[in-house]
Amino acid sequence: MRFKLPVSFIVAAGLVVPALPVSAPLLFAHHGTAEYDNTKTISLQGTVTALQYLNPHALILFTVKDDKGQTTEWTAELQSPNLLSRRGWSRSTLKPGDQIIVTGRPVKNGAKAMSGQKVAFTDGRETPNMGLPPDSSK
Amino acid sequence: MRSRTILLSFIGMLLVPFVVRAQASQPRKGAGQTANQVSNETSNRAPADFTGVWYPSTGSTLGAATPDNPGQQFVWLDAEGKPLKGPLPLTAWGQQRLKANRPTGTNTSAIDSDDPDFQCFPSGVPRVYLFLYPMEMIHTPGRVLMLFEYGHNIRQIFTDGRGHAQDAEPTWMGDSIGHWEGDTLVIDTTGFNDKTWLGYGGQPHSEALHVIERIRRLDQESLMIDITLEDPKAYTTPLHTQKKYVLKPDWNLMEFVCEDNSLNFLDYEKKTRIQK
């Protein structure tokens, strides 16, 4: 299940780094993806406040600082911990203070929230892929 | 939800001896290896044994209807097994119910939807097969158990020859009895309430829903579930669909409590659930 999404950029001073297309589908088995604007992909760089490793969807709470030094609180919704754990995630994959870049889709209602489809560290390390078990389409 | 918790606890107590027994005989090895052992111990008269942890396939011919929701919609088939074209064959009652339901969609977010799943109610049958979580099958004398990780849904399929429960209160997951036709387990389920949907699209059903499932192994590593729904109050013709499951020998079910963090987090403005 690979597909490319149309990419657009949200311009908000200092908040957004260039977004690459997200190749992983959104797999929100609980409530679907209607909350999110599937025509937009954003990437935000920020500092982890917490990883809430809760079913049915894990959340990354993180803060983003703009070029004026203003801090904004963001939330990125991930898949369920059960699915993440089977791809190699754990509750300590992200720790408070970690510098990360989250790529995903913004919510439609304009809140400071997004889906998290890819999470990387600013030092170049990556987190395990998200998604279904690799052979689940056979 | 309290009554559900009590019910699940009760069912859980019923299952404990069997789970303990299965674990004792096979301490956390691959489910594929357990099959014969458990079969010999507990279901020596069953012509097939589906014991193991299974994962729903998202294969394109069996329900991958949208890129964002692989495997999360059924492909409905006609009597010849060809995909149904056009809308589902709803009765007037069914159309009224469909119209009244508020599934998620372009203009309806999850928090505005009345999808029973988002309120953490049990999924019903066959919708329980649409969630991308594993299901464990356990054979015990006179019963086949289906334990669904998602929402901790449980189905007990009585294979001891009994008939359906009489004059019972309708339930979310229905009343299931089963028998074997060769290597195929045929499950007959009635006694549903009308509160669940058949899918994310708000497809309704009535308390008259009658589900017939035929479960067979395609090979050692895969199960096929052929599903027929009859609900003359909601649909003018029977509906057919299929779901394939793939064996996950190294997996165990995990805890999944929907209420842990259900929809509250979507209320971003109030942030009711998100505590720093």
B95-99, B124-128, B159-163, B264-268: least confidently modelled range: B264-268
Q: Does any CB of chain A come closer than 8 Å to the CB of residue B65?
A: no
Q: How far is A123 from chain B (nearest CA, A)?
A: 26
Classify A65 in phi/psi space as left (phi over 0), alpha (psi -120 to 50) or beta. Answer: beta
Query: Cβ separation of A109 and B262 shorter than 8 Å?
Result: no
Which residues in chain A are contacts of B131 at CB distance < 8 A? Answer: 29-30
Minimum mean pLDDT range among A127-131, B68-72, B195-199: B68-72
Number of A to B CB contacts under 8 A, please give it: 118
Kind and range of the H or E run holding A114: strand A113-115
Note the pLDDT of residue A23. 45
Q: pLDDT at position A131, please?
A: 79
Residue A119 predicted with pLDDT over 90: yes
Option in A54, A108, A112 nearest B260 (CB): A54
Pairwise CB contact (< 8 Å): B248 & A49: no
Q: Across the interface, do B132 and A108 touch by the CB < 8 Å criterion?
A: no
Is B218 in CB contact (< 8 Å) with chain A?
Answer: no
Tell me if ipTM is over 0.95. no
What percentage of chain B has pLDDT greater than the value 90? 54
Classify strands A113-115 and A71-77 as parallel, antiparallel or unpaired: parallel
pLDDT: which is higher, A117 or A133:
A117
Closest by CA position to B130, among listed B200, B76, B60: B200
Domain boundaries A16-121, corresponding CATH code? 2.40.50.140
CB contact under 8 Å between B269 and A111, yes or no, is: yes
pTM greater than the 0.80 cutoff: no
- In terms of CA atoms, which chain B residue is nearest residue A24? B68
List the single residue in A29, A34, A38 with the smallest CB-CB distance to B104. A34
Cα distances (Å, whole numbers) of residue B66 to A12, B70, B75, B158: 31, 6, 11, 36
Across chain A, what does the average pLDDT equal? 80
Beta-strand runs (E) in A9-107: 16-17, 42-52, 59-65, 71-77, 99-104
**Where exactly are the structural domains of chain A?**
16-121
Out of B88-97, B117-126, B157-166, B173-182, which region has the weakest mean confidence (pLDDT)? B117-126
Q: Domains for chain B: give ranges and CATH numbers.
A: 2-266 (2.40.128.20)
Considering only the beta carbons, identify the residue of A27, A54, A107 that sits closest to B132. Answer: A27
| CA–CA gap between residue A138 and residue B55 (Å, rounded) | 11
pLDDT at B71: 65
Query: Would you call A1 and B67 a contact, using CB atoms and an 8 Å cutoff?
Result: yes
Cβ–Cβ under 8 Å, residues B202 and A34: no
Choose between B193 and A58: higher pLDDT.
Answer: B193
pLDDT at B29: 35
Query: What's the one-letter identity of residue B127?
Result: R
Query: Cβ A31–B104 below 8 Å, yes or no?
Result: yes
- The residue of B109, B123, B132 whose CB has the most chain A CBs within 10 angstroms, and thus the best one to mutate to test that interface, is B132
Nearest of A132, A29, A26 to residue B57 by alpha carbon: A132
